[in-house]
Chains A and B, each alone.
Chain A
Amino acid sequence: MTEIPLTHVLILSSLLFIIGFVGVVVRKNTLFMLMSLEVMLNAVGVAFIGAGSVWQEADGQIMFMLVLTLAAAEIAVGLALLIRMQRRYRTLNIDVLNQMKG
């Protein structure tokens, strides 16, 4: 089994993170924004696992478990809000929710 260098892991992680972030910014549909958020969280997870394996420590995997839990909790709340939004505005376009305009 060949050792994967940490640089590659981090490059993958950054790419995933950027894809996720661009998704959050560019997408108008809230469902896709939530999915992009998941991508970003998983990018962070990749970085943790990669770092954990380099230092031969379990901490990275433990942190990933934490991130997963957080992601699950977040998506539960997010989906619930999504349903409310659909009921109320009959759309999932996030730009409708701009009442905080200064």
Chain B
Amino acid sequence: MSLLASLPLYPLLSFLILISFGKRLSWVMASWVSVGAMGAAAFCSMFLVNQLSTSDTSVITAHMWQWFSIGSAKVNVSFYLDALSAVMILVVTGVGFLIHLFAAIYMKSDENFTRFMAYMNLFIVAMLVLVLADNLVLLYLGWEGVGLCSFLLIGFWYQEKSNVLAARKAFIVTRIGDTAMVIGLFLLFKSLASLNIAEINQLAQTTISFTSNSMNAAHSDAYWAALLLLGGAVGKSAQLPLQTWLPDAMAGPTPVSALIHAATMVTAGVYLIARMNGVFLMAPEVMNYVAWLGGITLLIAGVAALAQNDIKRVLAYSTMSQIGYMMLALGAGAWSAGVFHLMTHAFFKALLFLTAGAVILALHHQQDIFKMGGLLKRLPVEATLFLVGLACLIALPGTSGFFSKEAIIASLWSSPTAGPSLWWCAILGALLTSIYSCRLFFLAFLGKARFPENLVISDHIETNKLLRGALFILALLSLFGGLVTVDLSSLFSSYKPSVVSSIDSPSWLHIVAIATPFIGIIFSWFYYRRYRIVTDEPLTASHSAWIVFCRNGLGFDTLYSTLLIKPYCFVAKLNKNDLFDQILMLIAWYVRIWRDILSVSQSGSLRWFAAAFGLSLVGLICVVTL
């Protein structure tokens, strides 16, 4: 078996061991198994990527077996490693390994530790299947697998109702996108008669019936297929219409938020669009939608992040906004920039989440930033690491976030499917990013300590070098990850020549883009002055209507609740005694009547039986003889 095929096996084995032995494993054993498996997978993927870069071919494949076949199209269980999936497996296993290491210590005292690590490992398996799949059906298997693990891990502390509700919400909302995606798969199969990703990208460019409008259709198949795939991506990546689940998903343990809801799973939508670039290029309108969705999401999420009180929810909205950037890049046709930002974002957002987790743990599960403050003196290492993460998020020059975000912004102005208005969106988003990052840092780490005076900072973390080690590596990756140039341009096909425009970018664009974060920092330095200076006046979250509206994610939850959930529940309540069920219940009623009649005859009295026996014999004889 080749190395590539064995890659998801390590976490799978670890998952099986953990789930079958459960609590019988000690903490040491369980963490060695799960973290060791992740280490092996990370090592393996590094080796594979090295192999990929040195070999002549640009692709490594591993065919395992044929799953099923439809007509002439075969659906194989086989893996396909090219530069795009190489980036993804490096992120998934590398960042995944560090987060596992962190999680092993973070969750040490939890009584269901083995179950937690087992789910985390299963998630890695599903994610690897997703990014390595060579056909869309296998990709969909991984896609649903990560959805399942996300559900299990958000609701990991299932004794609390709010966690379970958050898990259910995440599951149902992403399922809406997944349904769109699977219809897209059917459509692709119908029009291209193939499910292999490489083949589809090839065929999409050459099949005329796919791209041209048929007689009475307003749009071509390519348009609909791309739109439906976008639906799946939107659900998974928490973009505009389906973004409401991500902030609530923060109910899960912090390593889960770092691994699933920041670094890997939520970027699966970005991966899907990048992977299916052949289809999307044939539908420039949809690429325009992608760009606009990303642009609007990044603004909405940025505004919402400005009003949050919970440290994890700030980071959740920031994740949403950064994925908006990736979508914007994909929509503008800057595939490499989008994937590059995916990678750097995985580094610094994992760092931010894990550091936030360390802070939360040190403050005994206090997540409200209005009850933190002054932590720079109490937790200097964590504060520094957090600052590094925020610097990358703001895209200060020199950090990895700078390279990737600038690459995105630079590509927008002249792109035929984006344009100057989206460029301004991105700039405004960058401004918002720096403002909410500053607000977060000021509130949590500067100013007066607002937690109780006698609160003992738990030394759980202080002593743990391993935990800090994971954070330091992530910090190094966040700072210097941008120096690795990810050139995927050979991988992606370019536009049809007809749509390439020749708008030249003005020269001041770069200066504005670089200056924007600094403007944001200077603005918040003065605007949020009372957050950072030590004063005696009490500091509480504002309760003005506008702030509360932003805090609740700009009212999307309320909107969906009144538009969809309440009518649905109303109809469900009306039909509480299900009409169709009643018809079916007639059969049961008929059976029950006969049962009652017959059970009366079974009196249990022997003399009754004898009499019935005799009388029926007489009756029988009468019938036969007469």
Contact = CB atoms under 8 A, between A and B. Distances in A.
A25 B611 contact: yes
B605 A98 contact: yes
- Interface range for B: 10 to 19
A48 to B, nearest CB: 19
B614 interface: yes
Interface stretch (B271-279, B555-563, B573-581, B595-603): B595-603
A25 B607 contact: yes
A101 B599 CA distance: 8
Interface residues of A, number: 14
A24 B607 contact: yes
A11 to B, nearest CB: 16
A64 interface: no
B606 A102 contact: no
The listed residue with most A CB atoms (<10 A of its CB), out of B599, B600, B606, B611, is: B606
B41 to A, nearest CB: 63
Contact of A95 (B599, B600, B602, B605): B605
Contacts of B601: 102
A98 B614 contact: no
Nearest to A21: B614
A24 B605 contact: no
**Which of B600, B602, B607: most chain A Cβ within 10 A?**
B607
A28 B608 CA distance: 11
B497 interface: no
B28 interface: no
Contacts of A26: 607
B618 to A, nearest CB: 10
Contact of A100 (B598, B604, B611): B604
Contacts of A97: 604, 606
A94 B598 contact: no
Contacts of A33: 607
Given A102-B598, A102-B599, A25 B604 contact: no
Given A21-B614, A25-B614, A99 B604 contact: yes
A12 B133 CA distance: 92
A101 B602 contact: yes
Interface string A67-102: 000000000000000000000000000110111111
Task: Specify the main secondary structure of chain B where it touches its partner.
Answer: helix
B610 A25 contact: yes
Contacts of A98: 603-606
B602 A94 contact: no
Contacts of A101: 602-604
Interface in B232-247: none
A94 B607 CA distance: 8
A20 B29 CA distance: 81
Given A21-B614, A25-B611, A25-B614, A94 B606 contact: yes
Interface string B314-331: 000000000000000000
A24 B604 contact: no
Interface in A15-35: 21, 24-26, 28, 33
A6 B614 CA distance: 24
Contacts of B606: 94-95, 97-98
A100 B606 CA distance: 9
B600 to A, nearest CB: 8
Contacts of B607: 24-26, 28, 33, 94-95
A33 B608 CA distance: 13
B610 A102 contact: no
A60 to B, nearest CB: 22
A102 B606 CA distance: 13
A102 B605 contact: no
Interface in B152-208: none
Interface string A25-66: 110100001000000000000000000000000000000000
Contacts of B610: 21, 24-25
A102 B598 CA distance: 8
Contacts of B603: 98, 101-102
A98 B605 CA distance: 5
B613 to A, nearest CB: 10
A24 to B, nearest CB: 5
Nearest to A97: B606
B602 A100 contact: yes
Contacts of A94: 605-607
Nearest to A17: B614
Nearest to B603: A101
A102 B608 CA distance: 13
Contacts of B611: 25
A97 B606 CA distance: 8
A95 B610 CA distance: 12
A97 B601 CA distance: 16
Contacts of B598: 102
A84 B606 CA distance: 17
A99 B604 CA distance: 6
A99 B605 CA distance: 8
A31 to B, nearest CB: 14
A33 to B, nearest CB: 8
A33 B603 CA distance: 19
A26 B601 CA distance: 18
Contacts of B604: 97-102
Which of A25, A28, A33, A98 is most buried by chain B, counting CB atoms within 10 A of its CB? Answer: A25
A21 B601 CA distance: 20
Nearest to A102: B602
Contacts of A28: 607
B463 to A, nearest CB: 71
Contacts of A100: 602, 604
Contacts of A102: 598-604
A17 B603 CA distance: 25
Nearest to B607: A25
A26 B599 CA distance: 23
B612 to A, nearest CB: 10
Pick the most buried of B598, B599, B614: most chain A CB atoms within 10 A of its CB.
Answer: B614
Contacts of B614: 21, 25
Given A26-B607, A33-B607, A101-B602, 7 more contacts: A25-B611, A94-B605, A94-B606, A97-B606, A98-B604, A102-B598, A102-B599
Interface of A: 21, 24-26, 28, 33, 94-95, 97-102
19 contacts: A24-B610, A25-B610, A26-B607, A28-B607, A94-B606, A95-B605, A97-B606, A98-B603, A98-B606, A99-B604, A100-B602, A101-B602, A101-B603, A101-B604, A102-B598, A102-B599, A102-B600, A102-B601, A102-B603
CB-based closest 6 A-B pairs: A102-B602, A101-B604, A98-B604, A102-B599, A100-B604, A25-B611
